[in-house]
Amino acid sequence: LDTMKANPILSALLLLCLPLIVAARATVTSPVFARGGEQHKGGPLQTFLSTVKDARQHLVAAAVARGTCTAIMYPMDLIKTRIQVSHPNPLQLEGLFDGLGGSLLGQIPYGVLTFGSYEVYKRTLQERFPDWKPAFRYALAAIMGDLSGSLWLCPSEVVKNQIQAGMYKTTRQAYSSILKTKGFGGLYQGFLGLAARDIPFRVCQLTSYEIVKSIYLKSKAAKNQRQQQAQAEVALSPVESAICGAIAGTFSAAVTTPLDRIKTLMAVSTETSAAAAGVSSSVFACASMILNEEGPLGLLKGLVPRIVYVAPSVTIFFIVYEAAQQRLKSSGAFEPNYKKEQKSKRQ
């Protein structure tokens, strides 16, 4: 306990591991993750690994989608960060892709962990709590999924933001300097700001996407029925995924801009002054500093480039994600073993 009190980063990491442990224990006897009609047995680690294996279609689709949207939209993300840290020339063309490699190193596994585990959590909640409102299940699954991914994402976000702010030129230089001057804890600088931004964003994004998608699919199915078109399964086309993703992304980006500004300032703080130390100490301290120095509009700094970055990024993600998901399902690639066994039994 004394160690946890002295090291808030360790405490945060342990707390964020709880959703994985709880989820793993909860799935030990769950028929949702049964393969061939038998339930998984074993400890939390074995259960988690088997769960990841069963969800590999979701994980592969998420990895492809995350890497694609991150690479395409990276220059706009860099410009947004420059504006938020008051860079003298945020629109300069030089170095628009600085730090992209490190960002992909963080974003692709983060996308796998977040969206892959989201699908797993969502499926579990649907099976265990069918009477709950869908929006609540989606929100809870989004929170748990984001907590799972944030453990990996934070170091790459700190490095990426500091490179984008002009503090370092390369990913290797940034990692080496941070570890040398601040130790391992320096890679989790602004972790609470990251969680405070990403959890609300993920809830808004995934909840609104699932709701819009559900409404659209019901409308599409009803239209097909009126036209007497026989169709085994109604699914979103890439264009339809783009529309749903754009709606979800625009709304989510706008409402979480103040939290994104706070996260960015906490990540790039060098703690070389009392003011900087206050910025990195807590979300509330950073918000108070912005309000005192810039007023309420300071919290909205970077709103336009964030929307311009996030909305197309989310759109690209869901287009690629849905397309990859459908392609994997139709080809049978990475299909869980228990589903293959169920199909063979039906045949």
Q: What is the mean pLDDT of residues 78-96?
A: 87
pLDDT digits (tens, 9 = 90+) for 196-235: 888 888 778 777 888 888 888 888 888 877 776 655 567 7
CA atoms within 13 A on the CB side of 202: 25
Model pTM?
Answer: 0.66
> At residue 19, does pLDDT exceed 60?
no
pLDDT at 22: 42
Closest C-alpha among 142, 157, 165 to residue 192: 157
Residue type for position 311: A
Q: Are 213 and 237 in contact (CB under 8 A)?
A: no
Query: In 10 A of CB 253, how many CB atoms?
Result: 23
Closest C-alpha among 267, 81, 289 to residue 182: 267
pLDDT bracket for residue 134 (50, 70, 90): confident
Listing DSSP states for 105-163 in one string gives HHHHHHHHHHHHHHHHHHHHHHHH-TTS-HHHHHHHHHHHHHHHHHHHHHHHHHHHHHH
pLDDT digits (tens, 9 = 90+) for 29-38: 333 444 444 4
Q: What is the mean pLDDT of residues 96-111?
A: 85
What residues form DSSP beta bridges with 35?
38
pLDDT at 90: 86
Q: Which of 141-155, 289-303, 323-337 has the highest mean pLDDT?
A: 289-303
Length of the chain: 347
pLDDT bracket for residue 319 (50, 70, 90): confident
Q: What is the mean pLDDT of the chain?
A: 76
pLDDT bracket for residue 258 (50, 70, 90): very high
